[in-house]
Amino acid sequence: YEIYNEAKELINIGKTTLVFVDKETRRPCHPPENFMKNIRQYF
């Protein structure tokens, strides 16, 4: 993400990292199928 001030100067840059974690084991896991179905169209 890029944020600009009113003078159109870049003032901040950010990014997001999305991860899925099993709540029982606290280990990484695959995303739920319904999530994948809904997001697949964007990739």
Is residue 37 scored above 90 in pLDDT? yes
Distance between alpha carbon 18 and the CA centroid of its chain, in Å?
4
Instruction: Note the pLDDT tens digit of each residue in 1-33.
Output: 999 999 999 999 999 999 999 999 999 999 999
Q: For 35-43, what is the mean pLDDT?
A: 92
pLDDT at 43: 86
Phi, psi of 21 (to 5 degrees): -130, 135
Q: Which residues of 25-37 are buried (b: 16+ CB within 10 A; e: fewer)?
A: eeeeeeeeeeeee
Distance CA 16, CA 28 (A): 17
